[in-house]
Amino acid sequence: MVENMQKNEGTTVNSQASGVAGEGGGRLYIGPHLSISDGFAALARDAISIDANTFQFFTRNPRGGQARALDEADLAAYRELAAGHGFGAPVAHAPYTLNPASDKASTRRFALETFLDDLARIQGIPGCLYNFHPGSHVGQGLEVGLGHVVRLLDEVLPAFPETPVLLETMAGKGSEIGGEFGQLRAIIDRVKHPENLFVTLDTCHVHDAGYPVETALEDVLAEFDRVIGLGRLRAIHLNDSKNPLGSHKDRHEVIGGGTLGLAAFAPILHHPALRSLPFILETPQPDLAGYAKEIALLRGL
């Protein structure tokens, strides 16, 4: 990926050229991954307590399993809190056990059933985005894995046409799909209803995949725009990395504590093509106080 970035040196990406509208310096939407174990209203109160105005949550146990029953009174209380505090779009994250590209029919069936259930469950959360990992082809080959992912999306996208579904950029470890922008483009091109199919850019993942966001952000965004289109970018996972560029390992680090470094994040936060998007922290903070400090640090950049 580094070679591609060098070829694009000097390219400038802006929101007007890419079709993405920036907010002209408005307040950033930043928040961490939070738990829904005590309900959505409690989650909103946690977010407010740390100056977060967006967040991410797992729809169920990240290792899979049954999701807890929804409480309509709790959802109503959440909606009131979110509206009153100007929350941006929240992000629902599919469990890690979903592998729509699996070689096992039972695993693909689990992915489909969970996907549909999750999309139904988040309908009561205004503006909610649904993020998932494209999965791993586990030795079948990329083309076979892509075909499995496309078939799942061809079933779920028409069922919930108003809910944005987000493919996540990945680090490209092993047989993982999504370590190259072109692999995500291949999925988008092949689905029958791509209108509500979008992308989450994870800064740790793309760095580990070989895209140098910390030293060549403009070039990386130009490559993203050329291959996928910045109009399909709907969320940013804002993470530092424990690994060197192109390591294909996927190990997150706190902001400023890894190989991207603190200086990498101000240009990302304030880029006109990105600054209106929800910035989600998936950093290894021990508690809410850690996230509060990290959010204050980012807002101060």
What is the phi/psi pair of residue 56, to 5°? -125, 150
Q: Give the whole-number percent of the chain exceeding pLDDT 90.
A: 86
Is the pLDDT at 73 greater than 50, yes or no?
yes
Confidence band, pLDDT 50/70/90 cuts, at residue 5:
low
pTM for this model (two decimals): 0.91
Structure tokens at 118: 């999750």
Q: Identify the structural domains of the chain with CATH numbers, from first to last.
A: 2-9+26-299 (3.20.20.150)
Beta-carbon contacts of 74 under 8 Å, excluding residues fewer than 6 positions away, are 39, 40, 41
Q: Are 238 and 265 in contact (CB under 8 A)?
A: yes
- Please give the Cα distance from 136 to 177 (Å, whole number): 6
Beta-carbon contacts of 226 under 8 Å, excluding residues fewer than 6 positions away, are none
- Convert the pLDDT of each residue in 226-280 to its tens digit: 999 999 999 999 999 999 999 999 999 999 999 999 999 999 999 999 999 999 9
Structure tokens at 206: 């793309």
- Convert the pLDDT of each residue in 23-64 to its tens digit: 334 789 999 999 999 999 999 999 999 999 999 999 987 766
H-helix or E-strand spanning residue 18: helix 15-18
